[in-house]
Amino acid sequence: MKFSANLGFLWNDRSLPDAIRAAKAAGFDAVECHWPYDVPAEQVRGALEETGLPMLGLNARRGDVAAGDNGLSALAGREAEARAAITEAIAYAGATGTRAVHVMAGFANGPEAHSAFVANLRSACAEAAHHGITILIEPLNRHDAPGYFLTTTDQASAIIAEVDHPALKLMFDCYHVQITEGDLTRRLRNLQPLIGHIQFASVPDRGAPDHGEVDYRHIFATVAALGYDMPLGAEYKPVGPTEATLGWLDAARRGVAMPA
């Protein structure tokens, strides 16, 4: 089993290049991030080349966060902003060798939001395909992101079918899916053909995956049995120094019970 460190949460007290180096030192197989745009792409690429770690994904900008934005692509009337953010993300991904871009929907609802999201995703996929980059969409749970447009894997699956482009995949975040829908094992099995990336954290506190209501030893074994061989994304919020929360990583690699 391979694992990716999400540097939006892990080692986020360090610069992104130094966080990449920390992930390598800790034994991760890959990294991913949230919004890296304040760091020159050449610095990130240099750290990736130095460590030999691939960058699996990054997010398109959310918009005006101070005004409450959490994504733009389902916001009717703001298509120009959404597509500019997507173009920027694809360019940054290309410059750093990043494999996927997460296009965030934002806070919206209704048929106009749906139409805007589908149209923006079609544009994103057409652009990303020229660079060999995958576009990801991720349902978020109603407690952490009330009012977010994309909330369930069924909704995401229907949108993927409607867009009908091979570059569009599902980001299956076990944390969000468990809170909203549960039934993780069956959903992973049934949705496997659509999945472009898998993330995880404990439920309900979004901490390290060594406690809470999800048995990640079982989930990791399920994913392995499905033949999914890409690194799984550790997107959890550490309590204290990141290094102090990594007992689960060694346990998962050795196939033993995770520490409590």
Nearest to 209 by CA among 177, 245, 171, 184: 245
Dist. CA 168–CA 133, nearest whole Å: 9
Neighbours of 67 (CB within 10 A): 6
Q: Which residues are catalytic?
A: 138, 235
Radius of gyration of the chain (CA): 17
Does the pLDDT of residue 61 top 80, yes or no? Answer: yes
Boundaries of every domain in the chain: 3-254
Dist. CA 106–CA 150, nearest whole Å: 8
Which tens digit of pLDDT belongs to each residue from 125-155?
Answer: 999 999 999 999 999 999 999 999 999 999 9
Which tokens go with 13? 């007290």
Q: Which residue carries 């020159």 as its tokens?
A: 40
Three-class SS of the chain: CCEEEECCCCCCCCCHHHHHHHHHHHCCCEEECCCCCCCCHHHHHHHHHHHCCCECEEECCCCCHHHCCCECCCCCCCHHHHHHHHHHHHHHHHHHCCCEEECCECECCCHHHHHHHHHHHHHHHHHHHCCCCEEEECCCCCCCCCCECCCCHHHHHHHHHHHCCCCEEEEEEHHHHHHHCCCHHHHHHHHHHHEEEEEECCCCCCCCCCCCCCCHHHHHHHHHHCCCCCCEEECCCCCCCHHHHCHHHHHHHHCCCCCC
Which tens digit of pLDDT belongs to each residue from 73-110?
Answer: 999 999 999 999 999 999 999 999 999 999 999 999 99
Dist. CA 159–CA 90, nearest whole Å: 21
Which tens digit of pLDDT belongs to each residue from 151-164?
Answer: 999 999 999 999 99
Of the pLDDT bands very low, low, confident and very high (cuts 50, 70, 90), residue 256 is low
Residue 17 CB contacts under 8 Å (≥ 6 apart), including other chains: 39, 43, 44, 46, 47
Q: Which CATH number describes the domain made up of 3-254?
A: 3.20.20.150
Contact 10, 37 (CB under 8 A): no
pLDDT at 187: 98
Does the pLDDT of residue 257 top 70, yes or no? Answer: no
Q: Which residue carries 């005006």 as its tokens?
A: 64
Dist. CA 101–CA 25, nearest whole Å: 25
